[in-house]
Amino acid sequence: MSLNAESTAFRSALEVIRAVEPRVADAIGAELADQRESLKLIASENYASPATLLAMGNWFSDKYAEGTVGRRFYAGCQNVDTVEALAAEHARELFGAAHAYVQPHSGIDANLVAFWAILADRVESPALKKAQVRQVNELTEADWFALRRELGNQRMLGMSLDAGGHLTHGFRPNISGKMFDQRSYGTDPATGLIDYDRVAEAAREFKPLILVAGYSAYPRKVNFRIMREIADSVGATFMVDMAHFAGLVAGKVFTGDFDPVPHAHIVTTTTHKSLRGPRGGLVLCGPELADQVDRGCPMVLGGPLPHVMAAKAVALAEARRPDFADYAQRIVANAHALAEGLVRRGAKLVTGGTDNHLVLIDVSGYGLTGRQAEQALLDSGIVTNRNAVPQDPNGAWYTSGIRIGTPALTTRGLGTAEMDVTAELIHTVLSQTTPGESKAKYVLDPALANKVNKHASELLAGFPLYPAVDLG
């Protein structure tokens, strides 16, 4: 029997790798087997298409290509130009943006590109120029202080971490927290929703240079039209980090006030979460910021990864097809079904539900910490991650929440009926787990964990992952 193209491609690749270092080939094969067997509910993960994966494994990886299309610091970049231009064109068309920069290696890198572009555009500062020629890690706390003071105490207003914001939105453990004085807006304690009047009030008081919207763990839509009005009212640059929900923007689930692209001055994203592309990032903006954004490499980025840009072009082309809009609709329908199934069984959800791809369970309702719940679910074959809830009494390490998302399982083809079964499995594990003597310890009957594991495997068996890929 002749093999299909995908199976032939991956088998041949593994054979070539195995001849050099068989343990790497084995690990790659084992990763596919593990992914096939796990009920993946990590909201930030997905399964890229075979075409996207294959576009990364080739000689583009050998090419240096600093600069931009047609303006490189290296010779012989004509083919890199082709794929970078294609990826940028697909990104512009898909999101309706005037300019797209597809070199960032990840979401964090895309945010750094945006921050420097905004600063460079807004601030003419000798201290900034000095910072640009020195190694960032050479700057002392005093340097940063002086720099910020000279810059006029550059300020960033972003969503607080425990309300679902991201570390790169001005928090101390990230460079953004050193580059900017940060203040955050949270959510209304009664509803769990963003209170736009409070954001406006904070903006009036704090007068940020940058207002950031976007999140890693907020289960609702954000009204970007209102956020832009707030930014305009204080002369701030409005930046949206749509890393999590880019697939919902691409698939036209988020339109009008909920589509960030027409409202923000600059938009950043990852390409590997709901957008279902290779690991990477990109930046979208209007003509005013385009020149500064294009300086991302070498300002804050290492040399571009042409093989990943090739994969971005493939994935973005896929996202422009009508079936991607259907996929995006199903992600949200599945998240709804999962949330409803959990609420019906008595789970406590942050905001009571969802209107995007993710659900945040407040596991204090089960008497557990996020750490205990995450491990108990993992023992039962359900892969999630712990996450802080607003005003979390257990802090960012142990947490009181479990974040779950539907992009990956939706790619596998699971639908709303399977989401109800998934809700049942999650509720069964969490309601049967009891806290142990520390915030990390818990007690779960191994027989129950095995039973849930088996049930999860049966559920997944009906929806094979990469059905066309047979590694033999």
| Catalytic residue annotation | 64, 66, 241, 270, 273, 279
Q: How far apart are CA 235 and CA 79, in angstroms?
A: 42
Pairing of strands 210-214, 155-159: parallel
Site string for ligand PLP, 142-181 (x = CB under 6 A): ------------------------x-x-------------
Which H or E run contains 403?
Answer: strand 401-405
Alpha helices of 156-305 — where are they, by DSSP H?
176-179, 196-206, 224-233, 246-250, 287-293, 296-299
Where does this chain touch ligand PLP (CB under 6 A) — which range of 151-159, 204-212, 239-247, 401-409?
239-247
Q: How far apart are CA 215 and CA 166, in angstroms?
A: 6
CB of 270 or CB of 351, closer to ligand PLP: 270
Minimum CB–partner distance for residue 184 and ligand PLP (Å):
14
CB of 247 or CB of 381, closer to ligand PLP: 247
Pairing of strands 67-68, 71-72: antiparallel
Minimum CB–partner distance for residue 267 and ligand PLP (Å):
12
DSSP 154: -
Where does this chain touch ligand PLP (CB under 6 A) — which range of 4-12, 237-245, 317-325, 335-343?
237-245
Classify residue 208 as exposed, middle or buried by CB count within 10 Å of its CB (0-12, 13-18, 19+).
buried
Minimum CB–partner distance for residue 311 and ligand PLP (Å):
14
Minimum CB–partner distance for residue 300 and ligand PLP (Å):
13
Minimum CB–partner distance for residue 165 and ligand PLP (Å):
8
CB of 56 or CB of 429, closer to ligand PLP: 56
Instruction: Answer whether 217's CB lies under 8 Å from 169's CB.
Output: no
Sole binder of ligand PLP in the list 39, 49, 99, 107 (CB under 6 A): 107
Cα 350 to chain centroid, rounded: 19
CB of 214 or CB of 296, closer to ligand PLP: 214
Q: How far apart are CA 416 and CA 292, in angstroms?
A: 44
DSSP 236: P
CB of 240 or CB of 328, closer to ligand PLP: 240
**Can you tell me whether residue 17 is helix, strand or coil?**
helix
Of all residues in the shown chain, the one whose CB is closest to ligand PLP is 107
CB of 10 or CB of 180, closer to ligand PLP: 180
- Token output for 18: 């195995």
Sign of CA dihedral 456, 462, 465, 469: positive
Q: How far apart are CA 462 and CA 441, in angstroms?
A: 34
Q: How far apart are CA 238 and CA 254, in angstroms?
A: 18
Where does this chain touch ligand PLP (CB under 6 A) — which range of 87-95, 213-221, 339-347, 359-367?
213-221
Where does this chain touch ligand PLP (CB under 6 A) — which range of 100-108, 187-195, 308-316, 432-440?
100-108
Q: How far apart are CA 277 and CA 180, in angstroms?
A: 31
CB of 244 or CB of 455, closer to ligand PLP: 244
Minimum CB–partner distance for residue 455 and ligand PLP (Å):
29
Q: Is 108 in the site for ligand PLP (CB under 6 A)?
A: yes
Minimum CB–partner distance for residue 449 and ligand PLP (Å):
28
Sole binder of ligand PLP in the list 40, 99, 228, 244 (CB under 6 A): 244
Sole binder of ligand PLP in the list 94, 100, 102, 243 (CB under 6 A): 243
DSSP 445: -
Q: Is 44 in the site for ligand PLP (CB under 6 A)?
A: yes
CB of 17 or CB of 159, closer to ligand PLP: 159
Minimum CB–partner distance for residue 241 and ligand PLP (Å):
5
Classify residue 75 as exposed, middle or buried by CB count within 10 Å of its CB (0-12, 13-18, 19+).
exposed
Sole binder of ligand PLP in the list 46, 176, 184, 270 (CB under 6 A): 270
Instruction: Answer whether 166's CB lies under 8 Å from 241's CB.
Output: yes
Q: How far apart are CA 216 and CA 281, in angstroms?
A: 15
293 phi and psi angles, rounded to 5 deg: -60, -40
- Token output for 79: 């083919």
Where does this chain touch ligand PLP (CB under 6 A) — which range of 26-34, 106-114, 141-149, 423-431?
106-114
Q: Is 453 in the site for ligand PLP (CB under 6 A)?
A: no
CB of 39 or CB of 301, closer to ligand PLP: 301
Within a 13 Å sphere around the CA of 241, how many CA atoms are in the beta-carbon half? Answer: 32
Where does this chain touch ligand PLP (CB under 6 A) — which range of 21-29, 65-73, 210-218, 228-236?
210-218
DSSP 42: -
Residue in 403, 402, 422 with CA at minimum distance from that of residue 412: 422
Judged by the rule CB under 6 A, the positions of this chain that interact with ligand PLP are 44, 106-108, 166, 168, 214-216, 241, 243-244, 270, 281
